[in-house]
Amino acid sequence: MKVVKGDFDFIKNQKEINVEFVYDNMKLFKKNLTNDEYVKERYADLEAKGKGKGKAWKKSWVASRELIYAPKFLELMNRDLYKKQGISFEENLSGAKYTLIVETVWVYPGWNAAVMRQPAKVTTLIKFVETANRDNVLLEITSKNAPGNRFGGTFSNEDRLGEGYAKTGKTLSKLIMKKVF
């Protein structure tokens, strides 16, 4: 993680920080496919292997953002920060003074072929803004290639990517603990 601009001072006396996840401009693989391009390719691939496989995958690909990525990130953010410092990071806290925006810039889902595997990689742009004035960016951090893998491995791209978001949350939490407390 690299601090691009700003500092951590505003976090010190906070009890809650709103969190939003943005996937609008996400790119995938070395080819920098857009999400739509990737979904179209993967869907066609899976449908060619069996009717309905592409449709099932597409549903899980979209749902994984809400069911895997965000919860994994938040779980590891809150593990230390909430337990040790009483700061809660949650979605939909419209009354929170500050909002953490986690914008996914690039992902590589990795792969698992049983005897060999490649971890996922997640690159994000992390911004802390005033909830009432989003143009006021208090802190901006880049996180590049957070590795996503699970002990014992997983054959699910979504699970591997979820571990990349977990790693991002864990690393950000440690950085905040170091800089603020």
**Both ends of the chain: CA-CA distance in Å?**
18
Token pair for residue 36?
């739509």
Owner of token pair 């996503």: 148
Q: Go through 91-108 and write b for each residue having 16 or more CB atoms within 10 A of its CB, e for each that does not.
A: eebeebebbbbbbbbbbb
Q: Any idea what DSSP says for residue 159?
A: H
Structure-block tokens of residue 34: 């857009």
Report residue 109 as tokens. 């889902």
Tens-digit pLDDT profile for residues 129-161: 999 999 999 999 999 999 987 655 556 788 899
d(CA 109, CA 60): 14
What does the pLDDT read at residue 155? 67
The per-residue pLDDT for range 90-111, each reduced to its tens digit, is 999 999 999 999 999 999 998 8
Nearest one of 177, 163, 171, 181 to 71, comparing CA atoms: 163
Retrieve residue 60's tokens.
């899980």
> Tokens standing for 35?
């999400």
Model confidence, pTM: 0.92
Q: Considering its fold, how many domains does the chain have in total?
A: 1
Provide the H-helix boundaries in the chain: 35-49, 53-64, 70-85, 157-180
**H helices within 23-148, ranges in order?**
35-49, 53-64, 70-85
DSSP 3-state of 67: helix
What pLDDT, in 10s, does the model give residues 36-71? 999 999 999 999 999 999 999 999 999 999 999 999
Segments forming the whole domain that contains residue 100: 2-180
